[in-house]
Amino acid sequence: MFTLDRVVPWGRSFDEYRRMFGLPDKDLALRIIGCGDGPASFNAEATRRGYQVVSCDPIYQFDNTQIEERIAATYEHVLEQTRRNAHDFVWGNGIRTVKELGAVRMAAMRTFLADYDAGKRAGRYVDAALPALPFEDGAFDLALCSHFPFLYSTQLGEAFHRAALHEMCRIATEVRVFPLLALESHRSPFVETCAADLVGFGREVAIERVPYAFQRGGNEMMRVRCRSAS
Ligand SMILES: C[S@@+](CC[C@H](N)C(=O)[O-])C[C@H]1O[C@@H](n2cnc3c(N)ncnc32)[C@H](O)[C@@H]1O
């Protein structure tokens, strides 16, 4: 069962999503699903700019106050962990210190919380978990998945990764996943095995460098072309 006490809510901004996934304006105009968006402000900020984004995450079974309380309960711990492992991260480019990191993440999560109730009513925040999503085949042009598969390689295992990638390919024309590093900052062992599995099912897989890195060495995303764009 998915419980809030196991989640460390940590959300990135629209600008970070743009860079993590190499998203030009033309891609932002696509029908986008963010898988595992959690308390990121991507959906809120994209909606404000007139784009169509749906986010799904099991954290959306909880209400605004519950998520806010969980953010408050875990925030200092995440920053302390980052402080202890500061050498694993790239400092600069808008995030020069742990204090700045906290401010940037908290600003994104506040933007998410301010949008959450209205977005849930509008169907933009859907309580759903990989690897089984409640969307029609091909419902989206682009599925984005940030800091979930590959990052939690030890916790999720290979079978989950394969199933999650196939599920995102079922609902979207193209899938992008970032980063390809596991939490321990080495490349996930599942990048190659999942890529081979997807190719075996007729998908096109590319590993591409993107203009974003916060984990040291984490500047690559996986792009999967699941089917020809119609
Ligand atoms: C590290 S956070 C990343 C949040 C956001 N994508 C970002 O980059 O800022 C990982 C997210 O994965 C979500 N998650 C956990 N299990 C999931 C599942 N089975 N399917 C989809 N999302 C899941 C968590 O609730 C959490 O919000």
pLDDT digits (tens, 9 = 90+) for 153-172: 999 999 999 999 999 999 99
Structure tokens at 34: 């963010």
How many CA atoms does the CB half-sphere of 7 hold within 13 Å?
25
Ligand 1 pocket test, pick from 13, 23, 41, 57 with the greatest ligand atom count within 8 Å of Cβ, gives 57
How far is CA 148 from each of CA 13, 29, 117, 118, rounded to the nearest angstrom? 16, 24, 24, 25
| Gap from CA of 34 to ligand 1 centroid (Å) | 10
CB 45 within 8 A of CB 14: yes
Nearest CA to ligand 1 atom 12: 36
Nearest CA to ligand 1 atom 18: 129
Query: What's the pLDDT tens digit per position in 181-229?
Result: 998 889 999 999 999 999 999 999 999 999 999 999 899 999 999 976 5
Structure tokens at 49: 């700019």
215 vs 87: CA distance, rounded Å? 9
**For position 3, what pLDDT does the model report?**
76
Tally of residues, the chain: 230
| Gap from CA of 15 to ligand 1 centroid (Å) | 18
**For position 229, what pLDDT does the model report?**
54
Nearest CA to ligand 1 atom 23: 36
Domains in the chain: boundaries: 11-225
| Gap from CA of 69 to ligand 1 centroid (Å) | 17
Q: Which amino acid is residue 72, in one-letter code?
A: A
- Provide the CATH number for the domain formed by 11-225 in this structure: 3.40.50.150
Q: Is the pLDDT of residue 230 over 60?
A: no
Residue 221, helix vs strand vs coil = strand
| Gap from CA of 118 to ligand 1 centroid (Å) | 20
- The pairing of strands 220-225 and 172-178 is antiparallel
Show the beta-strand stretches assigned E in the chain: 32-35, 53-56, 125-126, 140-146, 172-178, 204-209, 220-225
Which residues form the pocket of ligand 1, taking CB atoms under 6 Å from any ligand atom?
A: 7, 10-12, 35-38, 40, 57-59, 129-130, 146-148
Q: Is the pLDDT of residue 134 over 90?
A: yes
Strand partners, 150: none
Structure tokens at 124: 């933009």
**7 CB neighbour count, 10 Å cutoff:** 18
Residues 171-175: what's their mean pLDDT?
Answer: 98
Nearest CA to ligand 1 atom 11: 36
Name the residue among 19, 29, 204, 171 with its Cα closest to residue 94: 19
Nearest CA to ligand 1 atom 6: 37
Query: What's the pLDDT tens digit per position in 22-65?
Result: 999 999 999 999 999 999 999 999 999 999 999 999 999 999 99
**224 CB neighbour count, 10 Å cutoff:** 23
Phi, psi of 131 (to 5 degrees): -100, 30
Please, what is the average pLDDT of the chain? 95
Nearest CA to ligand 1 atom 13: 36
